[in-house]
Amino acid sequence: MDLLATTSAVAVSSYALLSTIYKSAQALYAQPANNSSLQDNPGQSEVVLPSVDVIVPCFNEDPNTLADCLESLASQDYAGKLQVYVVDDGSANRDALAPIHKIYANDPRFSIILLASNVGKRKAQIAAIRGSSGDLVLNVDSDTILAADVVTKLVLKMRDPEIGAAMGQLIASNRNKTWLTRLIDMEYWLACNEERAAQARFGAVMCCCGPCAMYRRSALALLLDQYEAQFFRGKPSDFGEDRHLTILMLKAGFRTEYVPDAIAATVVPDSLGPYLRQQLRWARSTFRDTFLALRLLPKLDGYLTLDVIGQNLGPLLLALSSLAALAQLLIGGSVPWWTGLTIAAMTMVRCSVAAVRAREVRFLGFSLHTPINIFLLLPLKAYALCTLGNSDWLSRKVANVPTVGEKQPVILHPSAGRGPASIGGISGTICKAEFSHRPSSLAATESVCARDRSTAYK
């Protein structure tokens, strides 16, 4: 019993000390730097703007959700050349999506690529990247709405040739739907405006998130083969593509950045089942790429080493503290008061700091995340660590998907013939059809159609 009490005290004290150091440094570095903005450059209007290719992989997406995504892309205020590639990755609901495809298919800015079979999100992205030629590539999830100035703001950041990738700030478009979506929205704010913002101070954002991330094509050209051919324990790795590509960028010597005023609203899980499946995939991809990232740390600022330690050792110490407390409860009938008090104090301090920084009292409610973390997410991460070789998406259900042999019709121009196409070596078709544009009305993002996440990429 004495050994258990000592273990509990050491674990919870170490957790408190590490969290205090890590979160204090994170809060310090997450503050905006006083660097002169590229937007203040008086010669900016005279510079030729780079061309941008927007890649939108789509699998079994809700038609209304995809329509909102594409409308936000059509409404971008970017003054340079913008080309959008919508890649339907063998969706089983292609008939339901056809009206959306038709709306945009004859807009010269849009290309609709229909892959003959489901090949996975990463290969769907690569198919469009290899079939396009823009100076910059923006990856956007099909359930994400971009504010009208997102492309412009990301392009301004990418004017520095040392930057290989940049991400925007993510918010939950369906934030007000359930208590969980409210919690996830706060989780996204903290991940972006604490974790990524602090990492960006040193030009080393460790994961440019998939819903809205821009890449330099010249950098992608160097890394695309590695990105496509990622294996783990002899099995192809498909999920976690955003984190892996970011690590490859850093490994190649490029900077990765965060642009807080480039706002992207994405649909998040509204119930625990889909949320936990999503977190399991993310945990596996994080563990896989953390091993790769460890080799980068000697080349990066010391804060990034603290960041990796804080994100990995911190949860381990918290889990050890919780297990020791549970053992003491089972054996001795009580939990040491200092364990609960320490964890509660750390939680309230973090939530209070977030509420002050965000200027929103709702962040005090993020304290609910602590019991979810202890009782659900920590066991989930332990399971993820023990099952790293599993590459199942867990949430992707494929039914009645066209086989490779099936060919989809294509109208290259309103008066042209039909025929198949090969995009990046993957069999598919490019649709061009009659165009009638939807009115541009990027309304409140919370009006986005939320749906069961079980059939989409997330």
**What does 10-64 look like in DSSP terms, one character per residue?**
HHHHHHHHHHHHHHHHHHHHTSPP-PPPGGG-TTGGGSPPPPEEEEEEESS--HH
Given pLDDT bands bounded at 50, 70 and 90, which one contains residue 293? confident
Q: Could you tell me the pTM of the whole model?
A: 0.86
Whether 361 is in a domain gets the answer yes
Q: So what's the pLDDT on residue 288? A: 85
Phi, psi of 413 (to 5 degrees): -140, 160
Whether 272 is in a domain gets the answer no
Q: What is the pLDDT of residues 342-353, one digit of tens each?
A: 999 999 999 999
Q: What is the pLDDT of residues 40-81, one digit of tens each?
A: 444 444 578 999 999 999 999 999 999 999 999 999 999 999
Whether 357 is in a domain gets the answer yes
Given pLDDT bands bounded at 50, 70 and 90, which one contains residue 425? low
Q: So what's the pLDDT on residue 84? A: 98
Inform me whether the pLDDT recorded for 177 exceeds 90: yes
Whether 155 is in a domain gets the answer no
Domain span holding position 367: 2-25+304-386
Distances 184 to 195, 248, 343 between C-alpha atoms, Å: 15, 28, 21
Q: Rounded CA gap, 398 and 92, in Å?
A: 7
Whether 146 is in a domain gets the answer no
Tell me the mean pLDDT in the region 181-195. 98
Helix (H, G, I), strand (E, B) or coil at 423: strand
Given pLDDT bands bounded at 50, 70 and 90, which one contains residue 232? low
Please report, rounded to a whole number, the percentage of residues in the chain having pLDDT higher than 70: 80
Inform me whether the pLDDT recorded for 110 exceeds 50: yes
Q: So what's the pLDDT on residue 453? A: 39
Tell me the mean pLDDT in the region 225-250. 82
Whether 319 is in a domain gets the answer yes
Residue of 425, 428, 431, 458 lying closest to 90 (CA atoms) = 428
- Burial annotation 201-235 (CB, 10 A radius, 16+ → b, else e): bbbbbbbbbbbbbbbbbebbebbbeebbebebeee
Q: So what's the pLDDT on residue 446? A: 36
Phi, psi of 207 (to 5 degrees): -150, 105
Beta-bridge partners for 257: 166
Inform me whether the pLDDT recorded for 451 exceeds 80: no
Distances 206 to 27, 172, 195, 196, 290 between C-alpha atoms, Å: 17, 21, 9, 8, 9
Highest average pLDDT, of 19-23, 335-339, 406-410, comes from 19-23
Q: So what's the pLDDT on residue 398? A: 41
**Domain total of the chain:** 1
Whether 276 is in a domain gets the answer no
Whether 43 is in a domain gets the answer no
Distances 4 to 1, 273, 317 between C-alpha atoms, Å: 5, 34, 14
E strand spans, 116-174? 136-140, 144-146, 163-172
